[in-house]
Amino acid sequence: MAKMTMVQAINLALTQEMAKDERVVVLGEDVGVNEGVFRVTAGLHKAYGDARVVDTPLAESAILGTAVGMALAGLRPVAEMQFDGFSYLMWGQLEGHASRFRARTQGRWTCPLVVRFPYGGGVRALEHHSESREAMYAQIPGLKVVVPSGPRNARALLVAAIRDPDAVVFMEPKRSYRAFREEVPEEEEVLELGKANVEREGSDVTLVSWGATMRAARQAAQELADARGVSVELVDLLSLAPLDKETIRASVRKTGRLVVAQEEPRSYGVASEVIAAVTDDDAFWRLVAPPRRVAGSDVVTPYFGREEKYLPDAPRIARALEEVLAC
């Protein structure tokens, strides 16, 4: 198997799905001739031309509105927004239309489109280029929200998202775009949406995370194992909506302790929903310590001079794990 970056793996998914299904089209700002701001769409315009790789004006609402029309006409559009911080301009089309067609038509119509965009900090960019607001999208009924953590699961999840009959938001942690490589098989690989992955089995404490923060979570789990022999069960959510509550609850029933690490601001985030999934279930009675959150702060994402203090890192996650273990 070839070792790929996340950018290369996402490009592989797009290339193979466009080759298999002529209904798959890509549209967005600079996705064609310039091959994408992060080169995720490299080679697609040369291979499939203007009709299937469409350069658009700088107009996020128009991009998604066009994608909705394409989906309702029988295509499988994959729309790219250049950064999370500018995706809010498509909000009316996403919340008011793309997510509602199944409910609005009582199942007679669906809206099979994917919205891809890079999100998150850690690349020394300005605030609108570094935000992590996944809870905003996960709260929209009728919408699936997917966040890969590595090249291999990014490729397999994007294939599933493109084939899904409803609208999917695919958030790509750009801090992981070229940070590391993984083996990615050339042959087709598809992961089911809505399923978390227990990446590391453990018995002392459950650690839940997703996206770029998974790298810090892995480091914290390994450091505690090496230093103190702590057995951390590490769960990678992969899909934020629907949330795989059963995997989370099963892990907490086993360990009795829970820490959730998220990059987005602390309040009203996905971590709160993960903890609620445990506390409103009989898994609550297995807890032997209060759950803890490790998160960004409730501020606008700071400039890069203070960004490292804002982002959850392995030492902060390790301290939270030690605190719940001490209870």
Angle CA(242)–CA(130)–CA(209) in degrees, nearest 5? 40
327 SS3 class:
coil
| Half-sphere exposure for 90 (CA within 13 Å, toward CB) | 30
Query: Is the peptide bond prior to 242 cis by the omega test (within 30 degrees of 0)?
Result: yes
119 SS3 class:
strand
Is 128 designated active site?
no
106 SS3 class:
coil
Which of 45, 97, 128, 129 is labelled catalytic? Answer: 129
Instruction: Give Cα 288 to chain centroid, integer Å.
Output: 30
Interacting residues of 47 by C-beta distance below 8 A, sequence separation 6+: 15, 18
Main-chain phi, psi angles of 114, to 5 degrees: -120, 135
Contact 321, 259 (CB under 8 A): yes
Which active-site residues does the annotation give? 129
